[in-house]
Chain A
């Protein structure tokens, strides 16, 4: 991390991945600072991946206390009650992550993410919100966009065996390899607010149903003041009612959002470890691309559903209406 060159130790350790993305990309990675809020299975996977990749620092925020439920799908928490009693999820995960790569600075930040000032986010190059509420996601995204420094913004959410990733890189320039040449490209990402308030009617029918289903769940959790995963089949009638209202407001048929999908999402409150590995892996790849400026980034949603086995990118913005 000192000077411009990678150290001999870094070169030896990162040899195999330098062969994938090159030494320049690796250098940029070692200088990057990542903020991660909300740690469950998928985010644990994500953290593992970026620590191995050799980012400069990872700051963890999750004040929830470790309990048996937290152990599910999270291999960063050793199941020793004596060791974890009274500790927060962030604290325990921090210790485990440091082990994976001593060259990465892993630390814990306490407190409420949504209460942080805009300046707080300036320290970071990437902000990742896991399992966040609608309000928090909106607020943090707005703050990131206010900064003159471009902070890459991601949300991730996994329920049952499904996952959603949202990406906001604002105005993003990157290099792409086209045949033998390197081409300069630019993409314009919509804000989180815009991306989740896009009118449903003009959205192409082939779009992943998960997009709509997740918007219904977001509204449900906000209305009922629930945290991620604080729901069950008993809530299904309420959820379906919200779906009905949203469909009506958007002048679309209710069949756009299958009831069965909503049922899965609210009854599958625990994460499915294979889906965590997949979604956590995709998310890490995206963050690595954004930090290194190399490779075409995902724009702007990614959906995975183990039931059909597809991992799809959806580009959803107000451009449908224009």
Chain B
């Protein structure tokens, strides 16, 4: 009997869940109800208030605790006799190696970022364990099945990687609000409150007179006893007034572009703000420890985060927020990175972005909207996650029964397509030129004389190839590797290599060289054929290098959202991806991958900035289906 076969497949199964968030909570619940009783679950996050609208296993009292652990406890309450093992850890940790993955019959992902998905994909391939992938955004969702040798792996079809913007767009010629956000967040905020040792492009100007740059550096430094309000207005005038005037002086830039207008505080705000609401230094309510509650909005009588502020209000918020950072959170200055849950930071970035937008004639946005963009917030509801969780369990059961004919990719649509709200599609065979599961060599076009090994490691090996702990070899020469067991001499050697251009390496990498890049944990090895190229287009190729060599599967035609009249399948992958400045220079040596926070933006519904790649399942005829 089919039922009995199903039950025994379920009861004998050992399942790994990666992610205990939106999808994870729903999935763990449905697995438990369906009779699964040996479940392991990995999640590195802790619970936040904004999770509670959909991650129903958590309560307000759990905020700050481990998601994996609390999810486990909650499910045990209605299914006390099942075995759930929780890991409060990053799935990329070395403890989760191929042997770890091999103990499972199926792996179920409920992740929210591309990096981790790719990592798990590779481990599943290495361990030969089937993977059921999933993703949701708002009302859209999908579930896909990946079985080595039988179907595509998760990376057979390229997924959209975070959008990058050329430096000049951010520093000089913004045209969209997101450009202003990136400027406010990664340049201004970072300059004022972040690590002083970081390179910062804030003052990139047309003519980079050496003497001028020294002066501008001093503007951002606040003298010991400099009046906070005066300092704030000085900054305001510098970035929104002086810098704009300097940019305007370069006629070439503005030949075919709308000219920005300089904005000075005296034209927007009254003489002095201290009379208006009392000196911030004497503010009685908050003490220096209350950094979480310090906020400019209430002091200015602004209550509604969805309200659109005008130039004056944005300017008031800008000044007030800046003042509050110095008055109440002085100790943190120099160490801050933007955090979407840091109210004051969000207020500051919103105001700064809006003033810049005003200057460049770009529509302003509310704090609510700005926070979403700056914080990469993915809109999410419980229902889509619940539906997707149900679909995941159904596929998992098929996998356990080895019912290969029945495997389906299922798309959850917002509007019916051919009457279907849930659309199943047969999976495709593996892409023969997928570099992950089919070992195709890649081609890298790069300026071997100018580009450094560090650029190759950051932009290609880690970002594009998704390797976590890479190893780079040129012939027999080991150019770079990461590991705990390296001695100081080796580490120093590798660090030195990072700063060299490719052609200057101990084993010079030039046109025609072949590199081998590996990640031992992911058991992935790739060959890269290097081709030297002198020039790269700053707008179209902002990275200064181009990686190619694997063929796009024909099913992916990259239609944009606006063209499809009925919603085709949506590849929903990212929450923490988004645009970033193309070239980020870091003076400090690379931190551990887990702590390496990539600054990214979430772009929502702005025409060609759509992050989602639409796949049209209707054009599947050319590809071979799994029999």
**Contact surface of A with B, Cβ cutoff 8 Å:** 5, 11-21, 23, 41, 45, 48-49, 52-54, 72-73, 75-79, 99-100, 179, 272-278, 280-282, 284-285, 288, 295-296, 298, 302, 304, 306, 308-314
Contacts and interface: CB of A to CB of B under 8 A. Distances in A.
B384 interface: yes
Contacts of B386: 45, 48-49, 277-278, 280-281, 284
Nearest to B397: A274
A312 B387 contact: no
Nearest to A283: B383
A42 to B, nearest CB: 10
B506 interface: no
Interface residues of B, number: 51
B102 interface: no
A301 B54 CA distance: 26
B33 A20 contact: no
B84 to A, nearest CB: 14
A311 B381 contact: no
A281 B56 CA distance: 14
A29 to B, nearest CB: 11
15 contacts: A13-B52, A16-B379, A20-B138, A20-B379, A20-B380, A41-B33, A49-B382, A49-B386, A52-B54, A77-B78, A274-B393, A284-B383, A298-B421, A309-B422, A314-B419
A278 B390 contact: yes
Contact of A273 (B80, B139, B393): B393
Contacts, number: 148
Which 8 pairs between the two chains have the least Cβ-Cβ distance? Answer: A311-B422, A309-B424, A19-B379, A277-B390, A273-B33, A281-B387, A274-B390, A278-B390
A275 B419 contact: no
Contacts of A49: 382-383, 386
B416 interface: yes
Given A15-B53, A19-B372, A52-B53, A75 B33 contact: yes
A304 B380 CA distance: 23
A19 B305 CA distance: 12
A313 B421 contact: yes
Nearest to A277: B390
B391 interface: yes
A78 B52 contact: no
Contacts of A5: 304
A18 B377 CA distance: 12
A285 B390 contact: no
A188 to B, nearest CB: 18
A17 B379 contact: yes
A14 B306 CA distance: 13
A309 B408 contact: yes
Nearest to A312: B419
Contacts of A20: 138-139, 379-381
A193 B339 CA distance: 55
A311 B54 contact: no
A298 B304 CA distance: 33
B79 A79 contact: yes
Interface string B8-30: 00000000000000000010011
Nearest to A299: B416
A208 B258 CA distance: 57
A194 B390 CA distance: 32
A34 to B, nearest CB: 14
B80 A53 contact: no
A19 B30 contact: no
B610 to A, nearest CB: 14
B257 to A, nearest CB: 24
B384 A281 contact: yes
A274 B421 contact: no
A280 B382 CA distance: 11
Contacts of B53: 13-17, 52-54
Contact of B34 (A16, A274, A280): A274
A17 B54 contact: yes
Contacts of A179: 562
B378 interface: yes
B394 A309 contact: yes
A16 B79 contact: no
A314 B416 CA distance: 10
Interface in B391-434: 391, 393-394, 408, 410, 414-416, 419-424
A312 B415 CA distance: 11
Given A282-B387, A285-B139, 14 more contacts: A12-B49, A13-B50, A17-B379, A19-B380, A49-B382, A54-B53, A75-B29, A179-B562, A284-B383, A284-B386, A285-B384, A296-B415, A311-B422, A313-B416
